[in-house]
């Protein structure tokens, strides 16, 4: 490109003010605000100038500049936390936000978050109240515990109880339960951080009641069980029962803590899964405190829940860490709405996690066959998993939509790039979609995106 023609092109570039005052510019300002629109137009013009000086042939009309600015702003303002369609068949998918919330829980969050509320206000006295009361009555009613406390996640619950009840003393735990969960979170590290001395007993695969008995000394504050909710040890194994551990703890005047993890309130064996110990069972076996998550099998928001003896819960409430790990108003609102489903006996009908677990195979097959008729592909037998650190290795039978496409990885990437991103799995070169984890309201957009991506993929 000659210098003269390059200069001519540069001179034809529109001014920012002119672009802002054009019809397209007015629309850009209305959508994104004046300052963002101005900055995006400047950036688009700077990029075009640089490309012209580099010798590229670039369009310099108003429509091109406005289009570039619009595209940039859409990309810049696209949230990184977005809803997706989970077609993987993993019900509690940690990477996809764990448990989706019920409609009632969502409405409770909207109602509380959209206006002032009684987070720390007592309507009867007209004075300051306590957020620590919210959800406590429901948890006590459901589990039979004397008291309850909600914090922001189960890791926080563990740190709080160790710091408050065993700092500077010993906590006895089986070697087979020194687990690491997601994000490199290790039980031994948590104990060390909490100022607790770890006392390991037994072996990786076998720990007997006598091992705990022999380990208890004057410095012992707690016995702890860390339930294997995200792993399984099989073969030549043995673990002391929770009831035996409770007997040992109480005879020695110390406390038994059960880090249950997944927090089942219903019997998973009813649905053809392995039996997951429930919170109620742990308390009935003699655990003084039970810690579990709100967003796993309970099916609610992220939360760490502690239930058990009132004296211990009161001690945790008074600890300085309690404020640092407290739950916020939105989590408490969603948790209370979720717990009400259990109290009213409607968990299977209202809580998405339990709807998915209890969904009949024939219903899933009908949905998969309907998808195949509408977009193509075949149906194949498969397995859904509970996931999310719950019921390791346990699966539910399902029926999958299988798409035989060229370059399955590329096709799956295109689905993730849709406006409503679709997350699938790939096996044997095929893209697989499991209806079990696709919410009913998501089906129309799922099918539309599948149709569009299939058409474009075939045209390539």
343-358 burial, b at 16+ Cβ within 10 Å, e below that, comes to eeeebeebbbbbbbbe
What is the per-residue pLDDT across 261-288, written as a single tens digit (0 to 9) for each?
Answer: 888 999 999 999 999 999 999 999 999 9
Overall average pLDDT of the 231-240 stretch: 72
pLDDT of residue 250: 97
183-187, 208-212, 389-393, range with the lowest pLDDT = 183-187
For the chain, give the percent of residues with pLDDT over 70: 95
pLDDT of residue 432: 98
- Please state whether the predicted TM-score (pTM) of the whole model is above 0.85: yes
Q: Taking the domains of the chain in order of start, what are their residue ranges? A: 3-76, 85-93+353-459, 101-350
Residue 180: pLDDT over 90: no
pLDDT of residue 176: 86
Pick from 203, 197, 195: nearest CA to 174: 203
Structure tokens at 193: 């951080």
Overall average pLDDT of the 326-337 stretch: 98
Structure tokens at 159: 């740190």
Q: Which of 4-8, 50-54, 334-338 has the highest mean pLDDT?
A: 334-338
Residue 317: pLDDT over 80: yes
pLDDT of residue 46: 93
pLDDT of residue 175: 87
Fold for 101-350, please state it. Answer: 3.40.640
What is the per-residue pLDDT across 193-222, written as a single tens digit (0 to 9) for each?
Answer: 888 999 998 887 888 989 899 999 999 999
Could you name the CATH architecture of 85-93+353-459?
Answer: Alpha-Beta Complex (3.90)
N-terminal to C-terminal alpha carbon distance within the chain: 34
pLDDT of residue 182: 60
Contact 301, 294 (CB under 8 A): yes
What is the per-residue pLDDT across 90-108, written as a single tens digit (0 to 9) for each?
Answer: 999 999 999 999 999 999 9
139-143, 172-176, 313-317, 361-365, range with the lowest pLDDT = 172-176
Instruction: Show the 3-state SS of the chain.
Output: CCHHHHHHHHHHCCCHHHHHHCHHHHHHHHHHCHHHHHHHHHHHHHHHHHHHHCCCCCCCCHHHHHHHHHHHHHHHCCCCCCCCEECCCECCCHHHCCCCCCHHHHHHHHHHHCCCCCCCEECCCCEECCHHHCCHHHHHHHHCCCEEEEECCHHHHHHHHHHHHHCCCEEEEEHHHCCEEHHHEEHHHHHHHCCCEEEEECCCCEECHHHHHHHCCCCEEEEEEECCCCCCCCCCCEECCHHHHHHHHHHCCCEEEEEEECCECCCHHHHCCCCCCEHHHHHHCCCCEEEEECCCCCCCCCCEEEEECHHHHHHHHHCCHHHHCECCHHHHHHHHHHHHHHHCCCHHHHCHHHHHHHCCHHHHHHHHHHHHHHHCCEEEEEEEEEECCEEEEEEEEEEEEEECCCCHHHHHHHHHCCCCCEECEEECCEEEECHHHCCHHHHHHHHHHHHHHHHHHHHC
Residue 9: pLDDT over 90: no
Overall average pLDDT of the 311-316 stretch: 98
What band does 460 get if pLDDT is binned at 50, 70 and 90?
very low
């Amino acid at each position: 490109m000659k210098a003269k023609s390059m200069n001519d092109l540069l001179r034809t570039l529109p001014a920012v003010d002119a672009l802002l005052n054009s019809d397209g510019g007015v629309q850009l300002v209305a959508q994104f605000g004046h300052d963002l629109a101005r900055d995006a137009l400047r950036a688009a013009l700077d990029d075009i100038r640089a490309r012209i000086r580099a010798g590229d042939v670039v369009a310099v009309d108003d429509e091109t500049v406005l289009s570039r600015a619009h595209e940039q702003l859409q990309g810049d303002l696209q949230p990184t936390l977005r809803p997706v369609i989970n077609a993987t068949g993993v019900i509690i998918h940690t990477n996809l936000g764990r448990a989706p919330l019920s409609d009632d829980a969502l409405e409770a969050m909207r109602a509380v978050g959209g206006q002032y509320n009684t987070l720390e206000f007592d309507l009867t006295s007209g004075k300051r109240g306590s957020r620590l009361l919210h959800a406590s009555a429901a948890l006590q009613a459901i589990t039979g515990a004397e008291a309850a406390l909600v914090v922001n996640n189960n890791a926080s619950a563990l740190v709080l109880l160790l710091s408050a009840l065993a700092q500077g003393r010993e906590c006895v735990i089986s070697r087979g339960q020194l687990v690491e969960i997601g994000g490199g979170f290790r039980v031994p590290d948590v104990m060390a951080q909490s100022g607790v001395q770890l006392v390991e007993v037994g072996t990786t695969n076998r720990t007997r009641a006598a091992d705990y008995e022999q380990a208890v000394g004057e410095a012992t504050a707690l016995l702890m069980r860390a339930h294997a909710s995200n792993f399984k040890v099989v073969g030549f194994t043995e673990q002391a029962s929770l009831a035996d551990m409770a007997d040992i703890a109480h005879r020695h005047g110390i406390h038994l803590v059960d880090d249950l993890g997944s927090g089942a309130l219903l019997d998973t064996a009813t649905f053809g899964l392995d039996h997951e110990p429930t919170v109620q069972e742990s308390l009935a076996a003699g655990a003084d405190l039970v810690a579990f998550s709100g967003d796993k099998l309970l099916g609610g928001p992220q939360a760490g829940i502690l239930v058990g003896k009132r004296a211990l819960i009161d001690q945790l409430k008074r600890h300085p860490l309690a404020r640092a790990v407290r739950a916020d108003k939105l989590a408490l609102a969603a948790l209370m709405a979720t717990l009400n489903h259990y109290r009213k006996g409607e968990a299977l009908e209202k809580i998405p996690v339990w709807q998915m677990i209890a969904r009949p195979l024939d219903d899933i097959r009908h949905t998969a066959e309907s998808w195949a008729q509408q977009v193509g592909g075949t149906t194949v037998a498969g397995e859904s998993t509970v996931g999310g650190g719950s019921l390791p290795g346990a699966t539910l039978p399902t029926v999958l939509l299988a798409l035989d496409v060229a370059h399955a990885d590329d096709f799956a990437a295109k689905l993730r790039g849709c406006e409503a991103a679709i997350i699938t799995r790939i096996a044997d070169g095929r893209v697989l979609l499991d209806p079990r984890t696709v919410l009913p309201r998501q089906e129309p957009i799922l099918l539309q995106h599948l149709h569009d991506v299939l058409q474009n993929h075939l045209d390539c």
